[in-house]
Amino acid sequence: MTTPVLRIENLSKRYGSRAVLTGASFSVNKGDLKILIGPSGAGKSTLLQCINFLVQPDEGRIWLDGEEVRPGHRRALCTYRQKVGMIFQDFNLFDHLNALENVRIGLVRVKGIARDEAGERAVRELTRVGLRDHLQKYPAQLSGGQKQRVSIARALAMDPKVMLLDEPTSALDPELIGEVHSVIREMGQGGMTMIMATHQIGFARSLASEIIFMEDGRIVEQGAPDRIFCHAENARTREFCSKITELYGETR
């Protein structure tokens, strides 16, 4: 059996007396696309942010490529985060940098790559997400879909082993969702390991290698998409799936 790319065990987080994440455990193999579904407030976003310690989990352990992450060690944490790409719901592009600079800054400032070389790499990544013609534009001059594609290019340029996507299309107008989805689909075909939270059930079902259903900060059920959507064991999962299928139309 191969070592999973990422393994998390018993990840928990509480704010005061409110538990937002309780005992989340799973592992992701190379090339997997795990999709987190569940109602708003289920803890999907917290789980993703805990995985790269943007939110400090109260307990739990994480292994990347079989090596345990030591979040207390600052240098080690920064190295770990380079290997884990993060895509935010609201893009979080650096507002003072244009598209090219947004992708380049991590290469220059974090990886210490020479500016020219980093620039070339940034152009390649932006070309890959279809933004060759928008290199010099600032975030405020880009559409939501373009911003999200820049942020994907920014994460990809760091050569991550795994990508975390936190509802990457939920801040987008419906007509812009497609362009981001196609970039994500290409990433998946290229063999990228991904964990993504989304409400786009059709997209999830067509692409996911596994679905994780969360509610109230707990992982309720995980399994292959067809099993979760058609033969879920847990009543809550079935209820959620039928409700969301009703809301968003056909699942396929």
Partner 1 sequence: MPESLNAVIDALPYLLAGSAVTLIVVVGAMCLGLCLGVPLAVGQLYGQPAIRRAIGVYVWFFRGIPLLVLLFLFYFGLCTALDINLSAFTVAIIVLGLISSAYQSQIFRGAILSLPEGQLKAARALGMSDRRAIASIILPQALRLSVPGWSNEYSIILKDSAVAYALGVPEIMARAHFVATRTYQQLPLYLAAGVIFLVLTYLGTKGLRVLEEKVRIPGYSPQGG
Minimum CB–partner distance for residue 109 and partner 1 (Å): 5
The residue (of 43 and 225) whose beta carbon lies closer to partner 1 is 43
- Which residues, 12 to 51, sit near partner 1 by CB under 8 A? 49
Query: Which of 54, 113, 135, 171 touches partner 1 (CB under 8 A)?
Result: 54
- Name the 3-class secondary structure at 37: strand
Question: Which DSSP helix (H) or strand (E) runs through 236?
Answer: helix 235-248
CA 19/CA 178 separation, integer angstroms: 35
Minimum CB–partner distance for residue 67 and partner 1 (Å): 16
Residue with tokens 């689909």: 185
- Name the 3-class secondary structure at 88: coil
The residue (of 81 and 149) whose beta carbon lies closer to partner 1 is 81
Residue environment code for 154-175, b if the CB has 16+ CB neighbours within 10 A, otherwise e: bbbbbebbbbbbbbbbeebeee
- Which residues, 113 to 172, sit near partner 1 by CB under 8 A? 137-141, 151, 154-155, 158
Minimum CB–partner distance for residue 94 and partner 1 (Å): 5
Residues in the chain: 252
Strand 210-215 and strand 218-223: the pairing is antiparallel
Q: Is the dihedral of CA 67, 70, 53, 8 positive or negative?
A: positive
Q: Helices 144-156 and 174-189: crossing angle, nearest 10°? A: 20
Is 235 a binding residue for partner 1 by CB under 8 A? The answer is no
Is 80 a binding residue for partner 1 by CB under 8 A? The answer is yes
The residue (of 40 and 56) whose beta carbon lies closer to partner 1 is 56
- Which residues, 84 to 113, sit near partner 1 by CB under 8 A? 84-86, 88, 90-96, 105-106, 109-110
Minimum CB–partner distance for residue 51 and partner 1 (Å): 11
Sheet bearing 218-223, strands edge to edge: 84-87, 162-166, 193-197, 33-37, 210-215, 218-223
The residue (of 14 and 137) whose beta carbon lies closer to partner 1 is 137
Minimum CB–partner distance for residue 17 and partner 1 (Å): 24
The residue (of 93 and 212) whose beta carbon lies closer to partner 1 is 93
Which residues would be at the binding site for partner 1 (CB under 8 A)? 49, 52, 54, 74-75, 78-86, 88, 90-96, 105-106, 109-110, 137-141, 151, 154-155, 158
